[in-house]
Structure 1
C-alpha cells in the first residue's frame, strides 16, 4: 500500500466523483479513507443522510448512520479549512475523537462546522452527481457508492 494518496474516486450509478485528498490537513484521516476504499469497504455503501443545501453523508456499511468500520476511531485533526461546497469531512458523534468511516460532502457553505470536524478532501470533478443524490434522512431509495478507490 502506498504511503501517500492524492485522489479518491467514488464511482456512483451516474459516473465518477473525483476527490482531491488533503493529507496536509488530516494525514491520519486520509490514510483511513484510502485504506477503507482500497479494501472495498465503501463498495455498495449508501448515502444514508442527504440534506438539501447542507450535505450528503455516507460511510456506514449498515446504511443506518449508527455504525462504522472495525478499525479504531481516529483522533480529531481539525484545521482552519472552511466547510464550503465540495469539501469532504469526517462525520462523528459528540466526541471529537470518534470519526471512523462515515464522511460527508458539503452541498453549500457550512462554516458553522469549521474547526469542529476534520476536513480531508475536496471534490474536484463530479459534484453534479453528489447534487443529484436522492434526498432524505434516510432517502427512500438512497444513492450508493458502487466502488471507491484511492490512488
Structure 2
C-alpha cells in the first residue's frame, strides 16, 4: 500500500509550496514576512517562485522598485543582487521561460502578492510585488500569487524609491536576505 501511495505522489509531480518566509534586512525594514501562496489560483507562478526560493536564487535580492502608497517590488534574480551594480535592477529574470498569465478574480488589496511583468501579459518570470494599499486597477490584469499573513509592518518599513513613476531605490535598498519555502 505504501508503494502505491508513493507512486501516486510521484505521478502527481513535485509538491507545490504553501508559503514563503522572507527575512528582510536593511536601513528601512528588518524582520520576517510570511506569505501564503495561492497554488490553487496560480500553480505555474507559485511553482516558479518555490523553485527559485528553494534554489536560493532570491537570497540577497533587493527591493528595487518601491512606490509609497502602492507597492514594493523585488525578485530580479539576474540584476537585483545586493552589493552588485543595481543600475539594471528590474530588467532581469530567471533562466526559466516566461510564464503564461494565470489571472483570477482575486482583488489586489493590501498585502496581496502579485507577479510583475512587462506589457505582455505572458511575460512574468521571477519578479513579484507586495501591495501597500488596494489597487483595483490591477484586478484581472496581473497574476495574484499569494498574500502576506504576518510581517506586514516589515513591508511597510521598506525604503521607498526616488522618482514618480518608477520609484527605483538607488541608495541602500532593503534586501531579502533569506527566502524559505514552507510546505
TM-score by length of structure 1 reads 0.97
Q: 1:101 aligns with which of 102, 126, 136?
A: 126
Number of residue pairs aligned between Structure 1 and Structure 2:
151
Partner of residue 24, structure 1? 40
Instruction: State the superposition RMSD in angstroms.
Output: 1.1
Distance 1:22 1:96 in 2: 19
Shift of 1:24: 1.3
1:75 aligns with 2:100: yes
The Cα offsets for residues 10-29 of structure 1, whole Å up to 9 and x where unpaired, read as: 11121210000111110111
Shift of 1:8: 0.6
Contact 2:16 2:50 in 1 (8 A): no
Shift of 1:82: 0.1
Q: 1:89 aligns with which of 84, 101, 114?
A: 114
Name stretches of at least 5 consecutive residues in structure 1 with no aligned partner. none
The Cα offsets for residues 38-86 of structure 1, whole Å up to 9 and x where unpaired, read as: 1001000000000000000011131210000001100000001000000
TM-score by length of structure 2 reads 0.80
Secondary structure in 1 matching 2:159: coil
Is the helix fraction higher in 1 or 2?
2
Q: What does 1:1-151 align with in structure 2 at a 5 Å threshold?
A: 2-13=14-25, 14-61=30-77, 62-63=79-80, 64-136=89-161, 137-139=167-169, 140-151=171-182
Distance 1:132 1:9 in 2: 17
Shift of 1:4: 2.2
Name stretches of at least 5 consecutive residues in structure 2 with no aligned partner. 1-12, 81-88, 162-166
4+ residue runs over 6 A deviation: none
Secondary structure in 2 matching 1:9: strand
